[in-house]
A and B are shown apart, each in its own frame.
Chain A
Amino acid sequence: MYADRFGTLKGISRVQTGAMTTCPECGAGLTLHDSIEVGEIVDCSTCGTELEVVEENPPVLDLAPELDEDWGE
């Protein structure tokens, strides 16, 4: 029931839709979805690197931390 929730809720946009930034790994341009959150992970569509949102407005990305052994539920 939440599949399209982020696209339908009103008033939750933390960053304007389609905010542009660049991948810190490969330098390619990235268009971010709306309602981005600091701490969220996005993938660079060009190089595939996992990136962490470290600032929202304007958006700033950094390389995401590697998966740790104790991560999970």
Chain B
Amino acid sequence: MKVGLLYSRIRTDEKLLLEELRSRGHEVKKIDVRDQQFGLSGSSVDAAELDIVVDRCVATSRSMYVTEFFDSYGVPIVNPPDVASTCSDKVKTSLALEEAGIPTPDTRVAFTREAALDAIKDFGYPVVLKPVVGSWGRLMARIEDDHAAEAILEHKETLGHYEHKIFYIQEFVDKPGRDLRVLSLDGDPVAGMIRSADHWITNAHRGAETRVLDINEEIEDLVRRASDAVGGGLLGVDLMETDDGYTIHEINHTVEYKALADVVDVDIVGEVVDWLEVKATASDNGAAKMAL
């Protein structure tokens, strides 16, 4: 198959994928989205020659739009734009999980500092304030009292971008120093890891220690349902443990798997490419010749 790989930065994750695809004899077209133009009926990339496109853009904003364009051109894309749209926005993710009856932390959104402060006080301390779009734990705040809440809300209001004035306030989940990451392919769990840290943010990107997660039936069921709730695809589903069971707080649509691949015996990238091969075969790329 001929695979288009959308990127602007080649991380170890992308290198692993490239090596696996090439080692199987697939033709890979690396597409640096910074060099391209995307028109309404075609782009500077010959979409018609591609059997499938994999979005590995590190920038969420680019990911959002390029998936829309390739979907519009009729090329199968992983992940599709509706999945990217839901997963990249914490509000949409929370609503999708809630609508599917999947446990997720209680959340409120407010648009003014005053309303946000009221919501924060209703939750009580500690409470969590997150950006609606963001990754790697950036700009997340665990707020412990009124003084910190007032200061952080004021700071966010002055950051400039309108997204910072969408206050996404969430109950603090007192997890046991760790959270869980499961990589799934259309809902099928491939492998999982436990991410532990002394810090309340336990992203592997921020140096959390990682070890293998044994995926039990409850986790598997939740991952399948969460994947269905956001549209499926290649996903990283994040769970936390609570006294009442698991809760899902995030689903990643351009999931990084290097840290996971380092701790599990499963051939993560091999599984991903197996899945891509099936997807590409199943889809009839009806893209017209649309090169500009």
Q: A12-B23, A70-B60 are in contact. Are A37 and B15 (CB under 8 A)?
A: yes
Residue ID in chain B nearest A73 by CB atoms: B252
Is B286 part of the contact surface with A, judged by Cβ < 8 Å? no
Contacts of B39 in A (CB 8 A): none
- The answer to whether A70 touches B18, judged by C-beta atoms less than 8 angstroms apart, is no
- Per the bound structure, the CA–CA distance linking A19 and B244 in Å amounts to 56
Is B198 part of the contact surface with A, judged by Cβ < 8 Å? no
Residue ID in chain B nearest A71 by CB atoms: B58
Is B111 part of the contact surface with A, judged by Cβ < 8 Å? no
**Residues of A participating in the B interface, judged by any CB pair closer than 8 Å:** 1-3, 5-6, 9, 11-12, 35, 37-41, 52-53, 64-65, 68-73
Is B256 part of the contact surface with A, judged by Cβ < 8 Å? yes
- The answer to whether B10 touches A12, judged by C-beta atoms less than 8 angstroms apart, is no
In this complex, the interface size class of chain B, counting residues with CB under 8 Å from chain A, is 35 or more
Contacts of A65 in B (CB 8 A): 8-9
- The answer to whether A2 touches B262, judged by C-beta atoms less than 8 angstroms apart, is yes
- Tell me what chain A mostly uses at the interface: helix, strand, loop, or mixed: loop
Given A70-B60, A72-B135, A73-B252: 17 more A-B contacts, CB < 8 Å: A2-B258, A2-B262, A6-B15, A12-B22, A37-B15, A39-B8, A39-B9, A40-B10, A41-B11, A64-B9, A68-B59, A70-B61, A70-B134, A72-B138, A73-B135, A73-B236, A73-B255
- Residue pairs across A and B with CB atoms within 8 Å: the count is 80
- Nearest 6 pairs of A and B residues by beta carbon: A72-B135, A39-B10, A73-B252, A70-B60, A40-B10, A72-B136
Residue among A39, A52, A71 making CB contact with B135, cutoff 8 Å: A71
Q: A37-B15, A71-B59, A72-B60 are in contact. Are A1 and B264 (CB under 8 A)?
A: yes
- The answer to whether A70 touches B133, judged by C-beta atoms less than 8 angstroms apart, is yes
Q: How far does the Cβ of B162 sit from chain A's closest Cβ, in whole Å?
A: 13
**Residues of B participating in the A interface, judged by any CB pair closer than 8 Å:** 7-11, 14-16, 18-19, 22-23, 30, 32, 58-61, 133-136, 138, 161, 205, 236, 252-256, 258, 261-262, 264-265, 267, 269
- The answer to whether B23 touches A1, judged by C-beta atoms less than 8 angstroms apart, is no
- Per the bound structure, the CA–CA distance linking A71 and B252 in Å amounts to 12
- Tell me what chain B mostly uses at the interface: helix, strand, loop, or mixed: mixed
Contacts of B258 in A (CB 8 A): 2
23 A-B residue pairings within 8 Å (CB atoms): A1-B265, A2-B261, A2-B262, A5-B16, A6-B19, A11-B23, A37-B14, A37-B30, A39-B7, A39-B8, A52-B9, A64-B9, A70-B60, A70-B135, A71-B59, A71-B60, A71-B136, A72-B58, A72-B134, A72-B205, A73-B135, A73-B253, A73-B255
Residue ID in chain A nearest B261 by CB atoms: A2
Residue ID in chain B nearest A9 by CB atoms: B19
Q: How far does the Cβ of A65 sit from chain B's closest Cβ, in whole Å?
A: 8
Q: A71-B59, A72-B60 are in contact. Are A38 and B30 (CB under 8 A)?
A: yes
Residue ID in chain A nearest B161 by CB atoms: A69
Residue ID in chain B nearest A12 by CB atoms: B19
Contacts of A2 in B (CB 8 A): 16, 258, 261-262, 269
Q: How far does the Cβ of A41 sit from chain B's closest Cβ, in whole Å?
A: 6
Q: How far does the Cβ of B91 sit from chain A's closest Cβ, in whole Å?
A: 16
